Amino acid sequence: MRKSFTLILTLVFLVVFSALTSQILSLSANTNSMTAKLYLYNQAKLLARTGNEIAVLMIGNRPHGQNCLEVLNILDGDFTTTLNISYVGSGFTDINCKNNTIFQNNFSETNGTVVIDVYVRHNIEQILFHRRTIQKP
């Protein structure tokens, strides 16, 4: 009787220990996956900020008489950054931006303002980051 009780107790202990070990391994794998996704998300945020600055520089250095910059695509490793640029006011008449002006007005404060939508997508993981800024180049 005593040997069978010890055997059953040992089997119960092994089952509980194996279930606990499998839960620990599963939690460890999920933690590693979440850390990798968090790293990629932060990288996407930085790429959005960089793409925004590149767009402002390209708009500011646009030669007179050229068509306006509407869409800009940047490929960086596993990330694709798409910038959609809309113009506010009538401050961009010298670079032919009449088709992409979202609001025509005569206010001097808003002339030369751009609305930049930045979308950063990771090509492998399902990560999408969107940032909208309003700036004057």
How is the chain split into domains, by residue range? 2-135
CB 74 within 8 A of CB 81: yes
> How would residue 58 be classed by pLDDT, with cut points 50, 70 and 90?
confident
pLDDT tens digits, residue range 87-128? 877 666 655 665 555 555 555 665 678 889 999 999 988 899
Does the pTM surpass 0.85? The reply is no
User: Residue 69 CA to chain centroid, in angstroms?
Assistant: 21
Q: DSSP characters for 63-124? A: PTTSPPP-EEEEEETTEEEEEEEEEESSTTGGGT-STTEEE----TTTTTEEEEEEEEEESS
- Chain segment 68-80, per-residue pLDDT in tens: 788 899 998 899 9
